[in-house]
Amino acid sequence: MTIDEALNRLKRSAFRSKFHLSEKDRQYISEKGMDTIRVHAAEFVRKRLAPADIQNDGRQTPMRGHPVFVAQHACACCCRDCLYKWYRVPKGRALTASEQERIVNLLMKWIEREYARGQT
Tens place of pLDDT for every residue, the chain, 120 residues?
899 999 999 999 999 999 999 999 999 999 999 999 999 999 999 999 999 998 888 888 998 999 999 999 999 999 999 999 999 999 999 999 999 999 999 999 999 999 998 765
Give dist(CA 63, CA 78) in Å, integer: 9
Domain residues for the domain of 70 are 3-119
- Please give the model's pTM, rounded to 2 decimal places: 0.93
Q: What is the tally of structural domains in the chain?
A: 1
Contacts 24+ apart (CB under 8 A), 84-89: 86/6, 86/9, 86/10, 87/1, 87/6
